[in-house]
Amino acid sequence: MLIDNHNRKINYLRLAVTDRCNLRCNYCMPEAGINFAENNKLLSIEELITVSENLVELGIDKIRITGGEPFVRKDLMVLMRKLAGIKALKDISVTTNATLIGNHIDELKALGITNINLSLDAIDKETFEKITRRSQYEIVHRNLLRLIDEDFNIRINFVVLDGQNTQDILPILELTKHHNVSVRFLEEMPFNGGSRTFNTIKWDYKYILEYIQTKYPDITLIPSEKTSTSINYKIKNHVGSFGLIPSFSRTFCGSCNRLRISATGDVITCLYGKPVANIREVLRAHQAKENLRDEIQKAISTRAANGFEAQQQNRGVFDNSMTSIGG
């Protein structure tokens, strides 16, 4: 079992499979992209499988595949098939921009991988294209509707961006009226590859909630797991639900059960901290399994208590982009 130095059980791995992406969301990275890792620095699919299998043996029972955009990786489904076969893994999920998922929907469903977090920061086409700096609106909407039709468990991630998409907050909630989806509003964090720095945000989770209540005063809190990062609500007579993720306010750190491994093998024990180890060379050397397990155990024995403490220890943190951290 993986227990950190604050007595928190770590059972959730967020595994990034690439730092590349076919979109350029302006809150995530600069228009020109970032310095993407060289190919030989990315963990191979076999290495990602070794990491997953070993971490599951150490007590991980939930893996989220993320990136960059996971589906830009041509061999992604090889990993997904393997994960689907790991019995002790209770929950496999993917975070995606949904541009490239179309060809894989049938197989994902057959594998039982139906938990999809789909990033969609606008309901309006022009706003979507302004934010993502690409023309992929139609395909994303088509894939979203297909995933809903196919009974996937869909959570829409909507990063609330002051001056860009707040006019779409209420319209996107309309989706929850007839569809069993959860729309989760994320506070913006300054992990955008250095394009913009900020120390405060107007649209924090409390402000977003107050805004939603101007139209929907009749909402009820849905009880959530202790380790949940979202505070979830139901609007009266809506089939779906919505959630608020205080990713900037960091109210959920006390019960954090997450470990991140980046596409290049960085081990990140807090989103706001710097990598505490890199397992790439460990995986490529002799006794990979034993040394990998040691590295992971060591990493979680020095975790910061919360994101504020981690940020203090990591002055350059906001030069990072979410595409390389993995979200």
Nearest to 83 by CA among 112, 44, 41, 43: 112
* CB of 44 vs ligand SF4, minimal distance in Å: 21
Residue 208 touches which of ligand SF4, ligand SAM, none (CB < 5 to 8 A by kind)?
A: none
SS3 95: strand
Which 8-state DSSP code applies to residue 9? B
Question: How is residue 235 written in tokens?
Answer: 């609007």
Question: How is residue 190 written in tokens?
Answer: 């300054």
Between residues 54 and 262, which has the closer beta carbon with respect to ligand SAM?
262
* CB of 121 vs ligand SF4, minimal distance in Å: 8
Residue 24 touches which of ligand SAM, ligand SF4, none (CB < 5 to 8 A by kind)?
A: ligand SF4
Measured CA to CA, the distance from residue 104 to residue 46 in angstroms comes to: 20
For 293, other C-beta atoms within 10 Å of its C-beta total: 16
Measured CA to CA, the distance from residue 150 to residue 309 in angstroms comes to: 43
Measured CA to CA, the distance from residue 258 to residue 116 in angstroms comes to: 18
* Helix (H), strand (E) at residue 187: strand 182-187
| Segment 262 to 321, residues that bind ligand SAM, using CB under 6 A | none
Question: How is residue 309 written in tokens?
Answer: 């403490």
Question: How is residue 300 written in tokens?
Answer: 């979680």
| Binding residue for ligand SAM, selected from 193, 240, 265, 327, defined by CB under 6 A | 327
| Segment 186 to 205, residues that bind ligand SAM, using CB under 6 A | 186, 188-189, 191-192
99 binds ligand SAM (CB under 6 A): no
Between residues 21 and 300, which has the closer beta carbon with respect to ligand SF4?
21
C-alpha distances out from residue 149 to 118, 172, 178, 265, Å: 15, 18, 12, 36
Burial status of residue 243 (CB atoms within 10 A of its CB: 0-12, 13-18, 19 or more): buried
In the stretch 131-170, what mask flags binding to ligand SAM with x, by CB under 6 A? Answer: --------------------------x-x-----------
* CB of 5 vs ligand SAM, minimal distance in Å: 27
| Binding residue for ligand SAM, selected from 36, 67, 83, 100, defined by CB under 6 A | 67
Between residues 11 and 323, which has the closer beta carbon with respect to ligand SAM?
323
Q: Which residues pair with 62 in a beta bridge?
A: 12, 91
C-alpha distances out from residue 254 to 4, 88, 224, 258, 323, Å: 12, 26, 15, 11, 25
| Binding residue for ligand SAM, selected from 52, 241, 247, 320, defined by CB under 6 A | 247
Between residues 29 and 77, which has the closer beta carbon with respect to ligand SF4?
29
* CB of 232 vs ligand SF4, minimal distance in Å: 22
Residue 189 touches which of ligand SAM, ligand SF4, none (CB < 5 to 8 A by kind)?
A: ligand SAM
**Residues near ligand SAM, by CB under 6 A:** 21, 27-28, 66-69, 95-97, 119, 157, 159, 186, 188-189, 191-192, 247, 322-323, 327
